[in-house]
Structure 1
Amino acid sequence: MTEATKLLTALPPAQRARLMTLAREVSFPEDVVIFEAGGLADRFWVIRSGAVSLTQRVNQLQRVTVAGLGAGDLLGWSWLFPPHAWDFGAEAFSRVRAYEFDAAEVLRLCEEDPRLGLTLVRGVAEILAHRLELTRGRLMEITSRHRAL
């Protein structure tokens, strides 16, 4: 898998088909908050169209965009790890259409099909590692700008 790998295309066709039986199509209007950091992470999405900003609250009034997501991207990984609370916030930058997955249903499917579970966890881990690298770079950029002031 490369850094640009999308979760659904990373799964072999049979496993992707099994996972997609749990998908529900949803949409979010522009500027809606999809979830806030610290909230209950009980689902995730694969974006079909539109753009989502991952945000981190700096203080009561200010949020910083740490990453942008688009078509094919995974939105939400906190459902996979205790304490199942969102690490970032997410806001629709434009109208978003997505596949929504209930975390409990996906975890049950992964227990029934350990091969699918391992492939899914590996895919999420690679996406997470790439996003961590991007986020670190973005935060370093923001910090260096503030130091220059």
Structure 2
Amino acid sequence: MTPLEMLRAHPFLAGLPEEWLPRLTGFAYPVVWHPGHRLFRAGQPAERFWLVRTGEVALDFPVSGRGDVGIETIGEGGVLGWSWFFPPYRWQFGAVAVRRTTAVEFTAEGVRRMMESDDRLGRQLTARFMSVVVDRLQASRVRLLDLYGYPAALPPAG
């Protein structure tokens, strides 16, 4: 499967105008990770992102006294990485392959330049990545509630 075919098949890019996909392939290439491969840690420079094709990658973050705590697993059709999108371009979470995983890797700098030069593309990708950010933050909130034993719903104030 060519990089262009991989982009066409990924749900994150569904509905993008066809003319944008060949341009995006200039910053994309296929990758494979094996179980246990650490992609990045929280705080490291965020210079790329991935569209997951197969497999699973676990997101984690360091918690004092507990080590790296898992918060979410990204599987087939998922998006890995949004920290490249916002200065200072440092990972907010860590990631490690759980199973053999295939993905399309993008160089963030090239995609940012492309977004800056095409407002329509920039708006489309911004909206899509903001959805990813919201999902990750929600997963983090739920995981922290689980870790610290807060009740599912707090009683009304007053």
TM over 0.5, shorter chain: yes
- Counterpart of 2:137 (choices 129, 132, 139) is 132
Deviation at 1:19, TM superposition (A): 2.0
Instruction: Give the TM-score, by structure 2 length.
Output: 0.81
1:90-111 Cα distance to aligned partner (Å, 9 max, x none)? 0001111110000111011112
Find the aligned partners of 1:74 and 1:122 in 2 and give their Cα distance.
Answer: 13
CA distance 1:6–1:135, change in 2 (3 Å):
farther
- Counterpart of 1:20 (choices 19, 25, 42) is 25
Equivalent residue runs for 1:1-149 within 5 Å: 6-9=11-14, 11-59=16-64, 62-144=67-149
| Identity value in percent | 38
> Aligned-residue CA RMSD in angstroms?
1.9
Structure 2, unmatched stretches of 5+, are: 1-9, 151-158
CA distance 1:17–1:60, change in 2 (3 Å):
farther
Q: What is the SS of the residue equivalent to 1:13?
A: coil
Q: What is the SS of the residue equivalent to 1:83?
A: coil
Deviation at 1:6, TM superposition (A): 4.4
Instruction: Give the TM-score, by structure 1 length.
Output: 0.86
Find the aligned partners of 1:83 and 1:11 in 2 and give their Cα distance.
Answer: 28
Deviation at 1:85, TM superposition (A): 0.4
